Amino acid sequence: MGILGGTGDFAIQGMYYQVDFVIQCVGQYSDIPKILEFPAGKGPESFRGKVHSMEYAAMDFDTAAEFIKGKRITVVGFQKSALDIAMECSTANGALNPCRLLYRTEHWNFPDCCPWWVLDYMYFNRFAELLVHKPGEGFFLSLLATILSPLQWVFSKFVETYITHRLSLAKFGMVPKQSFHEGLSSCITSTMPGELHRVEKGSIILKKAPKFSFCRKGIVVDGEATPLETDLVILATGFKGNDKLKDIVSPTFPNHNTLSSEQCIDQRRVPQLAVIRFTNSLSKLYMVEMKSRWLAEFLDGTFKLPSIKEMEKDAERWDKYMKQNSGNDYQRSCIAAFHIWFNDQLCKDIGWNPKGRKGFFLNCLSLMVP
Question: Do the Cβ atoms of 347 and 354 come closer than 8 Å?
Answer: yes
Helix and strand totals (H; E) in the chain: 13, 15
When mean pLDDT is compared over 218-232, 241-255, 319-333, the highest value belongs to 218-232
| Residue range 41-57, pLDDT digits in tens | 888 888 887 777 677 87
| 147: pLDDT strictly greater than 60 | yes
Please give the average per-residue pLDDT across 117-138, as a whole number. 83
Query: Sorting pLDDT into bands at 50, 70 and 90, what band is 332?
Result: low
| 251: pLDDT strictly greater than 60 | no
| 159: pLDDT strictly greater than 70 | yes
Residue 153: what pLDDT? 92
| 312: pLDDT strictly greater than 50 | yes
Query: With a threshold of 0.95, does the pTM exceed it?
Result: no
Q: φ, ψ for residue 319 (rounded to 5)?
A: -60, -40
Residue 52: what pLDDT? 72
Higher pLDDT, 302 or 275: 302
| Residue range 63-96, pLDDT digits in tens | 888 889 999 999 998 888 888 889 899 999 988 9
CA distances from 72 to 47, 59, 96, 129, 157 (A): 14, 19, 9, 46, 38
b/e string for 58-68 if b means 16 or more Cβ within 10 A? Answer: eeeeeebeebb
